[in-house]
């Protein structure tokens, strides 16, 4: 790959050792060019303007200007300078994890957790994670978006499409969908990755009182999901909890699947329970995997599910969303316009795993309508 075709990356961290090892990791990836380093947000801002990087690896706590302060500033000048994708490189120490979650609300694309041990001892794992996330973000930026409207013939990239009727767009088509596909919801299952946290917040802004449980499977490192739950709970005055093994799901409560493990929903009698799966499966890098999560819901709740696929890179969930839709679940995808990255929802649409595509501002309203027939 020519230098001009490479992904330009800027590393901003106040630790000399962290900058050294991150640069060593990135320099082993042939399609990435480290264009600069900075030891705080102020110098990082100057180098963003100077080098116009595609991606910035950003520390949370730094002198003079923190990572969060840099993000806030970038948001104010988005009309003047091209904004890179920001990946927070954060530890769980002190307030780092809480600030990293707040950074996602201010536009950071993703989080990579700093290892508890030495970076040198986690070199290969970090190399794979940086490669996946940087390439995924850059690909989403450079790809030309295609149309996946019902009349699109571009259905050849993934598995064979589902035999159900073509996907529709817009909340104005929801009532017709409900007539064709009546549902008695027992669970709302939300899948999200890059760009998911701010999308989830927009759903909660429009969500009325809940009558059934909500379970959110968000691609996020281990430990950060607890902070994510706290952030949502305090921000929306709702009961939002990180799931723990064998926890029974209660109506009206929003649950976050923990990072670092696969998540399954099981049913015993009339009760739903969370099960943690600590297995490592080939082809499932992100934990929790959306496909594993959806597969368990097919077996436990099936047709009585409202399934939602939000912004995220890649195609996790695009296999089992088809099977969940076939079971009779109502499947919703966030639209291209409001998604940071239309990888996950787009893949589910292409495969035939989605009934309706909605703007993020309409998804909370759609949930309210779908739940309106449930008795208290």
Residue of 193, 289, 338, 339 marked catalytic: 193
Token pair in block for residue 1: 């790959």
Residue 228: closest CA among 116, 98, 114, 108: 98
Catalytic choice (90, 97, 219, 339): 219
List C-alpha distances in Å: 191 to 91, 128, 208, 269: 24, 22, 20, 25
- Whether 193 is a known active-site residue: answer yes
**Cα four-point dihedral sign 274, 312, 71, 126:** positive
Specify whether the CB–CB gap between 287 and 278 falls below 8 A.
no
Q: Is there a catalytic annotation at residue 219?
A: yes
Closest of 213, 188, 208 to residue 309, by C-alpha: 188
Q: Which of 13, 59, 110, 316 is catalytic?
A: 316
- Chain position carrying tokens 């104005």: 172
Q: How far apart are CA 267 and CA 276, in angstroms?
A: 14
Give the DSSP letter string of 283-339: T--SSS-HHHHHHHHHHHTGGGEEEEE-SBSS-TTTTHHHHHHHHT-EEEEE-TTT-
Distance between CA atoms of 196 and 290, rounded to whole angstroms?
13
The DSSP element (H or E) to which 162 belongs, if any, is none
303 upstream amide cis, omega within 30 of 0: no
Active site residues per annotation: 193, 219, 316
């Amino acid at each position: 790959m020519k230098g001009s075709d490479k992904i330009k990356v800027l590393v901003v961290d106040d630790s000399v050792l962290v900058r050294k090892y991150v640069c060593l990791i990135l320099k082993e990836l042939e399609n990435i060019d480290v264009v600069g380093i900075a030891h705080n947000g102020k110098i990082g801002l100057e180098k963003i303007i100077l080098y116009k990087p595609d991606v910035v690896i950003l520390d949370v706590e730094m002198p003079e200007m923190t990572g969060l302060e840099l993000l806030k500033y970038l948001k104010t000048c988005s009309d003047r300078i091209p904004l890179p994708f920001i990946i927070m490189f954060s530890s769980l120490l002190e307030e780092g994890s809480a600030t990293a979650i707040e950074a996602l609300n201010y536009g950071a694309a993703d989080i990579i957790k700093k290892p508890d041990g030495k970076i040198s001892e986690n070199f290969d794992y970090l190399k794979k994670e940086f490669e996946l996330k940087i390439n995924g973000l850059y690909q989403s930026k450079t790809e030309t978006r295609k149309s996946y409207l019902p009349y699109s013939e571009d259905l050849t990239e993934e598995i064979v499409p589902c035999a159900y009727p073509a996907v529709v767009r817009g909340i104005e088509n929801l009532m017709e969908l409900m007539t064709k596909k009546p549902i008695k919801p027992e669970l709302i299952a939300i899948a999200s990755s890059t760009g998911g946290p701010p999308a989830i917040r927009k759903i909660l802004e429009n969500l009325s009182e809940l009558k059934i449980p909500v379970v959110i499977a968000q691609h996020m490192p281990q430990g950060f999901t607890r902070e994510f739950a706290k952030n949502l709970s305090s921000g929306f005055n709702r009961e939002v909890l990180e799931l723990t093994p064998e926890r029974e799901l209660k109506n009206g409560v929003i649950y976050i699947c923990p990072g670092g493990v696969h998540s399954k929903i099981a049913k015993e009698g009339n009760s739903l329970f969370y099960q943690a799966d600590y297995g490592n499966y080939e082809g499932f890098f992100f934990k929790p995997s959306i496909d594993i999560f959806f597969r368990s819901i097919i077996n436990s709740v099936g047709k009585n599910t409202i399934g939602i696929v939000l912004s995220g890179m890649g195609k996790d969930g695009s296999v089992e969303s088809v099977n969940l839709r076939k079971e009779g679940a109502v499947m919703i995808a966030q639209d291209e316009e409001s998604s940071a990255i239309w990888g996950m929802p787009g893949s589910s649409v292409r495969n035939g795993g989605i009934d309706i595509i909605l703007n993020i501002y309409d998804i909370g309203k759609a949930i309210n309508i779908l739940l309106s027939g449930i008795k208290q």
